[in-house]
Amino acid sequence: MAKRIFLFLLTNIAVVTTISIILSLIGVRPGDGLGPLAIFCLIWGMGGALISLQISRWMAKRAMGVQLVDGNTGNADADWLYRTVERLARQANLPMPEVGIYNSPEVNAFATGPSKKRSLVAVSTGILRAMRRNELEAVLGHEISHIANGDMVTMTLLQGVMNAFVMFAARVIASVAASQSKSDRGSDGIYFVVRIVVEIVLGIAGSLVTAWFSRYREFRADAGGAALAGSENMVAALQRLAEGPQGVDPRAPALASFKISGAQGFLALFSTHPPLEVRIATLRQRRSN
């Protein structure tokens, strides 16, 4: 756990340092007017998201302890996993992604990576034990569909735009509020407090938007998994997940949008995945049409 925390902190320090150097080199400062402020926020918002995307495959392997397999391990499950991903990728006209397994009791699989040519499909040991092969094939088809649909890139761009908008709007609103103060000391305090409050409020609103889009792409990936591995198998996989509570490994919160299970009730608004029963009903409706 200490190693994972160190990697997370080191990555964030590297991202902040890189963006700060870029801003310094091009001479952009947030207090030079709306134009420079917009550029400043765009570089910070998009820059952090894009750097995170570029190192997402590397981070996933380090944070989750993913062990890559090549189809020649001699382990029946690992070799079947590799051959199945290879076949599904070929069906989807995709380059072969890296394939890996990580040791965790959670029933989960995810896909990540900066591009279709540099992607990773990983599964937990928990899902290998819990699912039949036809069900797991459908889950792998779902993950391959994420890659084919470019979901990692789209989510990154959306998150970057949201980050930039929140930073820009918070600073503009805080500047307007601070301008009403009659003293410099008072204006500084007002600016700081208003900026923080607005960033929190807009950040929450932005997370609702990104969560909604993430749920939308899950339905598309379900349809893709059904097309690649069969609708009955995709429904069976989701039913298997719905049979009992699925523990979620907290080691890589940055991969939350690629966890299988979704929240219920009010928290569903912030969930990156729709409820399993809704996904099952949607697949059944598509199959009957």
Report d(CA 67, CA 140) in Å as an integer. Answer: 17
Instruction: State pTM to two decimals.
Output: 0.81
CA–CA distance, 250 with 171 (Å, rounded to integer): 33
Q: Specify the 3-state DSSP secondary structure of 56.
A: helix
Q: Which residues pair with 69 in a beta bridge?
A: 99
Task: Report the candidate in 97, 202, 74, 203 with the shortest Cα–Cα distance to residue 147.
Answer: 97
- What does the pLDDT read at residue 273? 86
Side-chain half-sphere CA neighbours of 276 within 13 A: 16
- Predicted confidence at residue 86, as pLDDT, reads 97
- Ramachandran region, residue 100 (left: φ > 0; alpha: ψ -120 to 50; beta: rest): beta
> Where is 100: in which H helix or E strand?
strand 98-102
Catalytic option among 98, 135, 137, 143: 143
Beta bridge partners of 110: 122
List phi, psi (to 5°) of 250.
-85, 5
pLDDT at 22: 65
Tokens representing 236?
Answer: 């069976």
| Domain limits for position 170 | 2-288
CA angle 31, 32, 37 (to 5 degrees): 70
DSSP 115: E
Q: Tell me how far apart the alpha carbons of residues 250 and 111 are, in angstroms, rounded to a whole number.
A: 17
- Residue identified by tokens 């500047």 is 175
Work out the end-to-end distance of the chain between its first and last CA atoms, rounded to an integer number of angstroms. 48
Predicted pLDDT at 27: 60
Find, among 126, 66, 127, the residue nearest to 97 by Cα: 66
Per the annotation, the verdict on 135 as an active-site residue is no
**Count: domains in the chain:** 1
Per-residue pLDDT of the chain (289 residues; tens, 9 = 90+): 454 445 545 555 555 566 566 656 656 566 567 778 888 888 888 888 888 889 899 989 988 899 999 999 999 999 999 999 999 999 999 999 999 999 999 999 999 999 999 999 999 999 999 999 999 999 999 999 999 999 999 998 898 888 888 888 888 898 888 888 767 667 888 888 998 999 999 999 988 989 999 999 999 999 999 999 999 999 999 999 888 655 455 455 445 445 555 555 556 777 888 989 999 999 998 877 6
CB 111 within 8 A of CB 147: yes
115: left (phi > 0), else alpha (psi -120 to 50), else beta?
beta
